[in-house]
Amino acid sequence: MPSIFISYKLLYSLELVPFIILAIIKQINILDKKRTYKNQERILVAADCIVFGFSKGVLKLLVFKRRIDPLAGKWSLIGSFVDERECVTDTARRVLLQFTGLEDIFLEELKTYSDVDRDSGARCISIAQYALIRIDDYDKGQVEKLGAKWFSFDELPKLVLDHNMMVLDALKELRLKARHQPLGFELLPKKFTIPQLQSLYEAIYQRKLDDRNFRKKLLSFNLLIKLEEKDRTTSKKGAFLYQFDYDKYKGLSASGFDFVL
């Protein structure tokens, strides 16, 4: 009797094998479907631009009134969602062209902001970029038409989402860059005085620099070409105008230096 009982039990188990296999295959198919791109949760990617400009000794930031909910009408960095046919840099350059009319702009990636609750509108990851432009070069009519405005850092309003954090991070990065790479080509007019260049660095570091030490340190890099022209807007005697030696400027931008002020 025991042997007969075992045989029936074994036979019953064997009959269940096909059903068990089918159940396993079904579970595998469900897992495979979940693993595909199509079935993943949709997450938006944005490019937000911290746009620095410099005018009359003041470092400024370009912001605009946000157009979409949530927080429509509040001040925001300029930016856009990344189109499926664009890389993040292409998106940033598209936005900068739209707002400033400029194409050949200094642009570098800053940082990725991915906190889950950073944007109440949707799950959105922002890859921030910072740009440097000459304020005198941009299309003023275009900026006004799109509701954008330049603010000094003293007057900068509260921005939406985590954009104020992005601005602070970009300013830290700009200061670090100013120490190790030459700045000015992207922010100053093509012809400028040494005091104007010094005022740029003072605006970036937010402190007064010693005139004599700044000039001595700057000229030691042989980065500038002295012109015969003078800027007489601030005094009758005037100050000599300079321009960057482009080849040396690019060389120092690539190799770096230690510009401790």
ω into residue 70 within 30 of 0, thus cis? Answer: yes
- Are residues 76 and 169 located together in one domain of the fold? yes
Q: What is the mean pLDDT of residues 235-242?
A: 85
Residues 78, 51: contact at Cβ < 8 Å?
yes
CATH number (domain holding residue 202):
1.10.10.10
Domain that holds residue 55: 44-179
Angle at which helices 194-205 and 211-219 cross, to 10°: 110
Please report which confidence band the pLDDT of residue 257 belongs to, taking 50, 70 and 90 as the band edges: confident
Lowest mean pLDDT among 31-35, 58-62, 124-128, 223-227: 31-35
Between CA 190 and CA 213 the distance in angstroms is 23
**Which of 179, 210, 245 represents a domain boundary (last residue)?**
179
Q: What is the mean pLDDT of residues 234-253?
A: 86
For the entire predicted model, the pTM comes to 0.82
- Are residues 95 and 57 located together in one domain of the fold? yes
- Are residues 67 and 162 located together in one domain of the fold? yes
- Are residues 136 and 163 located together in one domain of the fold? yes
Task: Count how many domains the chain has.
Answer: 3
- Are residues 248 and 155 located together in one domain of the fold? no
- Are residues 48 and 71 located together in one domain of the fold? yes
- Are residues 174 and 120 located together in one domain of the fold? yes
Beta bridge partners of 151: 61
Q: Is residue 132 part of a domain?
A: yes
- Calculate the alpha carbon distances from 8 to 5, 62, 85, 153, 185 in Å: 5, 82, 64, 85, 89
- Are residues 191 and 161 located together in one domain of the fold? no
| pLDDT at residue number 14 | 56
Q: Is residue 202 part of a domain?
A: yes
Q: Is residue 260 part of a domain?
A: no
Q: Is residue 218 part of a domain?
A: yes
- Are residues 109 and 27 located together in one domain of the fold? no
Paired sense of beta strands 224-231 and 75-81, if any? unpaired
Q: Is residue 261 part of a domain?
A: no
CATH number (domain holding residue 147):
3.90.79.10
| pLDDT at residue number 250 | 85
- Are residues 153 and 227 located together in one domain of the fold? no
SS3 41: coil
| pLDDT at residue number 253 | 81
Between CA 158 and CA 76 the distance in angstroms is 8
Per-residue model confidence as pLDDT tens digits over 167-217: 999 999 999 988 888 878 889 988 999 999 999 999 999 899 999 999 999
Cβ contacts of 227-233, under 8 Å, gap ≥ 24: 227/191, 229/191, 231/193, 231/196
- Are residues 146 and 131 located together in one domain of the fold? yes
The DSSP line for 209-229 is --HHHHHHHHHTTT-EEEEEE
Of 222, 219, 202, 220, whose CA–CA distance to 210 is shortest?
202
- Are residues 76 and 32 located together in one domain of the fold? no
Paired sense of beta strands 124-134 and 239-244, if any? unpaired
**Which of 159, 179, 199 represents a domain boundary (last residue)?**
179
The answer, yes or no, to whether residue 12 has pLDDT greater than 60, is: no
The answer, yes or no, to whether residue 20 has pLDDT greater than 70, is: no
